[in-house]
Structure 1
Amino acid sequence: MFSYNIIFFFVFLLSLPYLLVKAVSSKRFRYKFFDRINPKPIKQNDYILIHLASLGEAKAFLNIKETVESIFKKKLLFSVTSNIGYDYLKSQGLEVFLAPLDFNFLYKRLFKQNLPHLAIFFETEIWPSYINYLKKHNTRVILINARMSDKSYKFYLRFKVFYETISKFDVIIAKSQKDMEKFNKFNKNVKFCDNVKYALGKKTFDYDFLLTLKMDNKKIFVFASFHKQELEFLQKAINEVLSLGYRVIIAPRYMEDLPLFEKFLKGIAVEYSMLSKLSDIKDCVLVDRFGILEALYSISSMVFVGGSLSAKLKGHNPIEPAIYNNFVFCGLYMDSFAQEVEYLKRSGCLVQIHNFDNLKSYILEYEKSNFCNLERKTQEIITCYKNILSKLIQV
């Protein structure tokens, strides 16, 4: 671990000029940056630490939050690596901090007063210094919803520090049989439960804008989590959907890109309303509020998942809209959610398309479909996690 920290330190130094430029140019990047290099000691006693990456992982973990709390009966304290995940968890009234850079001495400061009873890491969050520091101080550490790409598998096999780190998890719960087989190479205590992102239960929402969006009984089509790189694909799609009598809702992935979306809509002469100003509601609505996509899914009937039209983006979670019985469209680039896509295809909930030329015909076809119901899958996953995690308190 000493050599890993030395290497990581030199990589950090070499990257410092780039990091400073990014900190100036990107609000997301510089967000609470000094908290990452000078963390405040944790004051909470007798808690369970949950480490997540960003928004998607935060929402996914909340699917089993009550299960974890009911088993261990301790307060949960969240650690995240992104400002988006941090803001979301804060908005849910949860205790959260930004994880420091992966240096041993920073964790020594962070856990100076109190160490967690148990640490739960999520999916691909395998940080050697973080995990080894906790294990060295007798904290049990587990990895849940674990996934490993073929590229990562080769990388971990090549570097001893990652190989040894993965072997130190007390238990790993993989999200697929294929992932379980890969993790078995590094750790012999690997279990399998399906992806917790399938376990999303329906919620009810009381936002005023939902009533406004539904008041004229128009069907709703959501373009969700679209990136600025995907704007060129939207022009034809918007016109196709509007021509079928839908209300179109466009949700940018990042609020900082909102001006670009406004400029785009004005450029193609589509009249729109901002979600925050629905007094004069149009058939196209641009979302200018963070963290309400799930509420929009609860009233929509079809969703096109963004981040899937460029090979560089690799897609976003298609499960969340499907839970609300939406039919889901996406592009071909869903690398980060390949198994979820295949599952939803088998369930008759999703289709991938490579362009919008025939989107209209797809919509007309799938309007007649019996949309999916994932509630049974939700209960299976929660039961699986409950069975595995309950055994930890017996050790």
Structure 2
Amino acid sequence: MFSYNIIFFFVFLLSLPYLLVKAVSSKRFRYKFFDRINPKPIKQNDYILIHLASLGEAKAFLNIKETVESIFKKKLLFSVTSNIGYDYLKSQGLEVFLAPLDFNFLYKRLFKQNLPHLAIFFETEIWPSYINYLKKHNTRVILINARMSDKSYKFYLRFKVFYETISKFDVIIAKSQKDKEKFDKFNNNVKLCDNIKYALRKKVFDNDFLHFIKMDNKKIFVFASLHKLELEFLRKGLIDVLNMGFRIIIAPRYLEDLPLFTDFLKELNIEYTMLSKLASIKDCILIDKFGVLEAFYSVSSMVFIGGSLSYKLKGHNPIEPAIYNNFVFCGLYMDSFAQEVEFLKRSGCLVQIDNFDNLKSYILEYEKSNFCNLERKTQEIITCYKNILSKLIQV
């Protein structure tokens, strides 16, 4: 660890001019910059430390926050590496600080008064000085939702300090079988649960427009986050879904593209109304405001995820609609959410289609079987974590 800190220190010195320029030019980068190099000692007693990277990890951890609190019955204190994650956790009323640079002497100052009862690191947050300092002072340390790319795997094998650091986790909970197999090379206590990010919780919405569109109890089909590149693919799909008795909701990915969508609907002779002008109910509603898509997921039964019909696009998150027991359709281009797609396929909640010619047959097949129940899968993930974490209090 001494050599790691020396090397890290010289890298820091060499990078310092760049860091200072970055701090001056970027508000986001200089955010609480001095807190990272001069951390304030933690005053909280008898707590559990949760270390996360940024916003996505913070949101994901909140899926099991109540589970962790119910098991350990201690206050949670959050450590993050980004200002976005810091601001989000603050907005949720949680106690959070920005993690210092990975130097042993900074952790000595940070934990000068109180060390955590347990430290939980998330996904790829493997910081040698951070983890080794806690272990040296008898804090149990675990890694959850752990993932390791092929590139990282080769890197960790090459450098002893990372190899040894990973071996010191009291338990590692991997998010996939492939990740588990990689972590097995470094640690003898690796468990497997599905990705915490899949364990989303339903929200309850009380928007006035929801009561309005549900008045006649029509089935609702949402075309979500559509890009302008995808409009031509939709011609047959929109007509088929309308003819099957659905009310369709269309949500453009970018509101500046609304004129293209209105022209497209007029060309198809589809009567529609804008959500902001919902005076009379029609069978096609075009969303022209941000922040309401999830509310529509809560009352729909089927969703097509946009950003997935062109190789130029990478898809959007299919878990969000699925948690409301929607059956999800998407195109073949879901590169950014490949693991989520595979998870939903295994759960019977998603099918990928290459064109809309066969959409009608897929809809009919799903309506007969109705086999998507993501709530059950979500509960399985939470139960898996509960069972593994509960064993820690017996040690």
TM-score after normalising by structure 2: 0.77
Amino acid at match of 1:262: L
Deviation at 1:146, TM superposition (A): 1.1
Q: Counterpart of 1:256?
A: none
**Residue in structure 1 matched with residue 150 of structure 2 by the alignment:** 150
Q: In the aligned structure 2, how far is the partner of 1:312 from the partner of 1:89?
A: 34
Classify the secondary structure of the residue corresponding to 2:250.
strand
Cα–Cα, structure 1 residues 242 and 174, in superposed 2: closer, same or farther, change >3 Å? same
The secondary structure found in structure 2 opposite 1:116 is: coil
Q: Secondary structure at the match of 2:287?
A: strand
User: Residue 318 of structure 1 corresponds to which residue in structure 2?
Assistant: 318
Given that 1:120 and 1:141 are in contact with CA atoms closer than 8 Å, whether structure 2 keeps it comes out as yes
Alignment of 1:280-299 (within 5 A): 283-289=285-291, 294-299=294-299
Letter in 2 for 1:71: I
How much is the aligned-residue C-alpha RMSD, in angstroms? 3.7
Question: In 2, are the aligned partners of 1:326 and 1:371 still within 8 Å (CA)?
Answer: no
Task: Show the 5 A alignment for 1:257-296.
Answer: 261-266=254-259, 269=262, 283-289=285-291, 294-296=294-296
Q: TM-score, length-normalised on structure 1? A: 0.77
Q: Aligned with 2:78: secondary structure?
A: strand
Alignment of structure 1 residues 161-176 onto 2, 5 Å? 161-176=161-176
Q: Secondary structure of 1:300's partner? A: coil
Count of residue pairs brought into register by the alignment: 372
Q: Partner of 1:247 in structure 2?
A: 249
Partners of 2:200 and 2:129 in 1: CA distance: 32
Aligned to 1:387: 387
**Cα-to-partner distance string for 1:298-348 (whole Å, 9 max, x where unaligned):** 223344556767889866543332221122244555556444322322333
Task: State whether structure 2 residue 8 is matched by structure 1 residue 5.
Answer: yes
Looking at structure 2, the residues matched to 130 and 96 of structure 1 have their Cα atoms a distance apart, in angstroms, of 16
Three-state SS of the structure 2 residue aligned to 1:142 is strand
CA displacement 1:192-251 (0-9 Å, x = unmatched): 222233433434333455445655757241525x8xxxx45344467666554411134x
Question: Could you tell me how far apart the structure 2 residues matched to 1:214 and 1:54 are?
Answer: 37
What amino acid maps onto 2:138 in structure 1?
Answer: N
The answer to whether the 8 A contact 1:220-1:249 is kept is: no
In 1, Cα distance between the equivalents of 2:210 and 2:100? Answer: 38
Residue identity matched to 1:284: L
What is residue 362 of structure 1 aligned with on the other side?
Answer: 359
Task: Give the C-alpha shift of residue 3 in structure 1.
Answer: 3.1
Render the CA deviation track for 1:242-279: whole Å, top value 9, x for unaligned: 554411134x6xxxxxxxx333323555699998x566
Alignment of 1:39-58 (within 5 A): 39-58=39-58
Deviates more, 1:237-246 or 1:198-207: 237-246
Query: 1:172: how far off?
Result: 0.3
Structure 1 pair 351/115, CA: closer, same or farther in 2 (3 Å)?
A: same
Counterpart residue number, 1:255: none
- Please say which of residues 32-41 and 172-181 is displaced more in the overlay: 32-41
| 8 Å contact kept, 1:325–1:371 | no
CA distance in 2, matches of 1:211, 1:351: 29
- Alignment check: 8 A CA contact 1:241 1:248 kept: no
Is the 1:238–1:248 Cα contact (8 Å) retained in structure 2?
A: no
Where does residue 121 of structure 2 map in the other structure?
A: 121
Q: Relative to 1, partners in 2 of residues 1:113 and 1:58: Cα closer, same or farther, differing over 3 Å?
A: same
Cα pair 1:302 1:327 within 8 Å, conserved: yes
Highest Rg: 1 or 2?
2
